[in-house]
Each structure stands twice: as C-alpha cells, then as structure tokens.
A and B are shown apart, each in its own frame.
Chain A
Amino acid sequence: MREILFLNSLDNIAVCLGDIESGRVISQDGRSVTAIENIPRGHKISTRDIAKGEGIIKYGERMGHATQDIACGAHVHVHNVLGDRLSTESS
C-alpha cells in the first residue's frame, strides 16, 4: 500500500493518502521521504527542499510559490504557499 502519491516526475510535492506522523519514513516507488511534521490525509508533503519564491509543482505544473523556505518532508499548505495569480492581483 502506498502512503503518498507522486503525481508527476517534475513535482516537488506528493499527496498524503493517509495521516502521516512526524518522523515517518516513507519508502515507495523507488524513492524515500521522511516526514518532519504531522501531515493530514489529502495534504501535501515536500519531496525535496524548496527555496522561498520557488514554484510549487504539482501535476508537473506550477500551482503557486513558496512564501518561505520549505524543507524536504514538510507540510506544504496555505501557511507556506501562495497562488501566483492571487498574490499578483492583490499586490
């Protein structure tokens, strides 16, 4: 049983298929990621270090950017991600 879903080889995130606890080592599909915090089911985990300002890539497409540095294995969500469109429009 897979615990996370890699959607595209270009992605820097994966989707958690169940609640993932901090410290959990996930090894599947020939890759390994260690969760560094608790991440709920359906939410995203970073699969590599992502620098502030760098794109968040899901489905091989840019769904927004990091508003702070995001370490590999972190919870990637509204606290550290902003959509590109929305941020441009509201500035």
Chain B
Amino acid sequence: MSALTGFKRSDGRWGFRNHVLVLPLHQVLSNTAREVEGLVDGAVAVSHDWSGEVDSDFERIAKVLAGIANNPNNFATIFLTVGTPIETEIITRSRSLGATELHVLSLSELGSMTALLAHATNLATQLTQKATAVVRVDAPMSAIVLGLECGGSDAYSGITANPALGLASDRLVAQGATSILAETMEILGSEHLLAARAITPEVGKQIIDVVARYERSISYEGIDIRGAQPSRGNIEGGLSTLEEKSLGAAKKAGSAQFTGVLEYADTPPTPGLYFMDTPGHDIEQLTAFAGAGVNITVFTTGRGTPTGSAVMPTIKVATNSEMGLVLTDLIDLNAGTISDGVQTLDEVGDLIYQEILDVANGKLAKAEINGQHEFNLSRLYGSTL
C-alpha cells in the first residue's frame, strides 16, 4: 500500500474524494441543489447568489463555476439550469476542461420544480452508486494540490500553526506536490522577500506586481495599509514590523521557491509552490481554490472558524490551545502545543503532514463531518484588483 491513494481522472489529475456535485447555475435553483444533497448520500451541493448577470465579474464567476464542476474530487457533476444561453456557455466551458462526468438538468425542459427535484435526486442516486464502485489506487505525491489558508488569525498564528504548516508544505512540494498560498493583502510587506524566493526574476516581478495592483485598488479608498501596520494591537502582541506580520501569514508556504503566480481560480499548470491573487475573505479564497482544482486544504485558525468546502476536505489547525482544546468538534489538529512549549515546530509540522495524507486517503476532516459547504462568488464590481 502506497502512502497515498486516490482516484485518477481521465485528464491525469487526482481526486481524494469521489463526490457527486449538484451545482445550480442560477441562484433560484440553490435550494433544489441543497435538497438533493440532503436526500442522496454521497451528493454534495453548493448554493450561490449569481442569477445570470453578465457584467465585469462574469469572467471570474464563469471560471469558478466551470472550475468547481471539474474539481478532481468530483466523480460527476449535475448542473441544474433554468435553461438560458449564459448557463450553456458555462457548461461548454466546463466540458472543455475535461475530466469530470457532466450532466445537465434544465428546469425549462423538465417543466416543474417537482420534476427537477425528482430527476436530480434519481440521477444523483445513480451516479453515487457508480462512484461507490470506483476503488482507490496508489497515487504519487504529485497528486496533491494543497490549498493554504488562514482565517481568524491571532498573535500565535505566525509562530505556531502557520510555520508548522509551512514545514508540511515544503515537505510535500519537495516530493512533487503542488501547494498554493493566497490572500494578496496578507503578503503585503513581505512581497519583496517572497519575490526573492521566486524561481525566475519574471515570477518574482509577478509577485511584486500583484501586490502593487492590490495597493492601487485600495489607495482609491484612501487606505494606507503600510503606514498603519502593524496595528497597535499587533505591536502590543510583540510584532515589530509590517514584514514580520506579513511573514507570519506567508510562512504557511514554508521556505520553498515560488514556481509561479496564478490569477483568481487559475489551475496551476505544473507542480510546485504558487501564489494566487485572491481577496482576503476566507470563503472567497476557498472558492477560488475549489475552482482551481485544489483537492485538499489546510486552514489555520486562531478563533476557530468552522468553514469548509463542498468539494475539498479542509483540515483545521488551531493556533492556540485555549481554543484548540475547546472547539474539538471543528478543530482537527492543535498547534497551540508549540506556544505551550510542549511540542516543537518540527513535531507539529510532521503531524500536519501526516494529517494531510490521512485525510487525502479518506479520513474525514471535521468540516466534512459537520457538512460545512460554504461557497462565495468573488465580485470586484469593476475595481482593478
């Protein structure tokens, strides 16, 4: 038995789950998708608030919806449509991505919400039965596409969970896996240090450029983040410079070289460590990862956020024991043992590494057990980010 097992998709990517995703392509069908999820064991659903608008955010929305339908953790995806051309455009785009078995059920063709629910439930039942028959096979480490995320950070994030996760990420990347750091606002201040770790000067320049683009977008609102950071609370907590604060977040990505920079929800073309340009909002970032084909994520948290994803197992790592030992039904691992002085970064890094493999191999993360299927479409409303 290999250390890692998964489901190989026809396009060469790997999944660690074999979901049947029910994906509404219009907001009004979100409830139907949720109903199918509740009725069919093995079906998962997301709901969202897009109702067919074609504006400056359409490209971003279409990319995420087509991408999540094709996330390699899906055995199949059932699109629920009201029957408009714009929905067809997203389905066509999703088919061109390749791997996942795609089905479409249209309200206008079926004629009623009752018929749509009945057909979707029947189809999801058939597909989950087919999915159950597929067995896991030995997978190479390059099968892993890891998303790195932090939310509800605290004074310990930068010295416990984040650097420990960075050790696990480095170890995976060294073995051919892919790992993605995101949240542009969080690397502001250490972008020059991250750029120095880029594999080529061009990639380094891209890292600098995405941060500059973000700064331009917020400067319209008169916000000077560099001047105001670190905040008074950060300084009381012991952080002395903006670089230090920013490195604390970026240390989720360890010390590996950056192979490339990805736009929101872009699929990484080759293995390695990437930076993805995303907003700082946790769920919008997880949604971008799902659209990019990330198949497992690790989420460090100081306050204990329950957030998860319909398609990606999401491992929660607590940054402090005060929270980590209390919110045990949503925390998978407690890295607070580092600041308690009882475990080393290396020891916790090893635990995170093993947890990633265990969850990839089928162990359910707490967010999966809790059915946390958050999904937020990111909108820019015409700003330049």
Chain A interfacial positions (CB closer than 8 Å to B): 1-3, 5, 7, 15-18, 29, 40-44, 56, 58-64, 76-78, 81-86, 89
Q: Does chain A have a CB within 8 A of B242?
A: yes
Residue of B nearest to A90 (CB): B227
Binds A, one of B43-51, B99-107, B126-134, B334-342: B334-342
> Chain B contacts of A56 at CB under 8 A?
240-241
List 28 A-B pairs, Cβ < 8 Å: A1-B340, A2-B341, A15-B238, A17-B340, A29-B344, A41-B238, A42-B237, A44-B238, A56-B240, A56-B241, A58-B244, A59-B163, A59-B251, A59-B255, A61-B190, A61-B193, A61-B247, A63-B240, A64-B240, A77-B235, A78-B240, A81-B240, A83-B240, A83-B241, A83-B243, A84-B241, A85-B242, A86-B242
Residue of B nearest to A18 (CB): B341
- Looking at the complex, which one of A7, A18, A86 makes contact with B159 (CB distance below 8 Å)? A7
Q: Does chain A have a CB within 8 A of B226?
A: yes
> Chain A contacts of B238 at CB under 8 A?
15-16, 40-44, 77
Give the complex CA separation of A89 and B193 in angstroms. 16
Give the complex CA separation of A60 and B226 in angstroms. 22
B292 to chain A, nearest CB (A): 26
> Chain B contacts of A61 at CB under 8 A?
190, 193, 243, 247
Q: Does chain A have a CB within 8 A of B187?
A: no
| A86 contacts B241, C-beta separation under 8 Å | yes
| Chain B 220-246 per-residue mask, 1 if CB under 8 angstroms from chain A, else 0 | 000000110000000101101111100
Q: Does chain A have a CB within 8 A of B60?
A: no
Contacts A40-B238, A76-B240 hold; do A85 and B189 have CB atoms under 8 A apart? yes
Q: Does chain A have a CB within 8 A of B146?
A: no
| A82 contacts B241, C-beta separation under 8 Å | yes
Q: A58-B244, A63-B247, A84-B243 are in contact. List 13 more A-B contacts (CB 8 A).
A: A5-B339, A7-B163, A15-B238, A29-B344, A40-B238, A59-B251, A61-B190, A63-B243, A76-B240, A83-B189, A83-B240, A83-B243, A86-B242
Give the complex CA separation of A5 and B226 in angstroms. 27
| A15 contacts B159, C-beta separation under 8 Å | yes
| B159 contacts A64, C-beta separation under 8 Å | no
User: Which residue among B240, B251, B338 has the maximum number of chain A CB atoms within 10 Å of its CB?
Assistant: B240
Give the complex CA separation of A43 and B240 in angstroms. 9
**8 Å CB interface, B239-276 against A:** 240-244, 247, 251, 255
| Chain B 7-33 per-residue mask, 1 if CB under 8 angstroms from chain A, else 0 | 000000000000000000000000000
Chain B interfacial positions (CB closer than 8 Å to A): 155-156, 159, 163, 189-190, 192-193, 226-227, 235, 237-238, 240-244, 247, 251, 255, 338-342, 344-345
> Chain A contacts of B189 at CB under 8 A?
83, 85
B150 to chain A, nearest CB (A): 15
> Chain A contacts of B341 at CB under 8 A?
1-3, 5, 17-18
Give the complex CA separation of A41 and B238 in angstroms. 8
Contacts A3-B341, A7-B159 hold; do A62 and B193 have CB atoms under 8 A apart? yes
What 5 pairs across the A-B complex have the smallest Cβ distances? A83-B241, A2-B341, A43-B238, A42-B238, A1-B341
> Chain A contacts of B241 at CB under 8 A?
56, 63-64, 81-84, 86
Give the complex CA separation of A84 and B251 in angstroms. 19
Give the complex CA separation of A68 and B347 in angstroms. 36
User: Which residue among B159, B241, B341, B344 has the maximum number of chain A CB atoms within 10 Å of its CB?
Assistant: B241
Give the complex CA separation of A86 and B226 in angstroms. 7
| A77 contacts B243, C-beta separation under 8 Å | no
> Chain A contacts of B251 at CB under 8 A?
59
| B240 contacts A44, C-beta separation under 8 Å | yes
B238 to chain A, nearest CB (A): 4
Contacts A59-B163, A63-B243 hold; do A78 and B235 have CB atoms under 8 A apart? yes
B300 to chain A, nearest CB (A): 15
> Chain A contacts of B244 at CB under 8 A?
58, 63-64, 83
| B240 contacts A60, C-beta separation under 8 Å | no
> Chain A contacts of B237 at CB under 8 A?
42
B350 to chain A, nearest CB (A): 16
Contacts A1-B340, A78-B235 hold; do A64 and B163 have CB atoms under 8 A apart? no
| B242 contacts A83, C-beta separation under 8 Å | yes
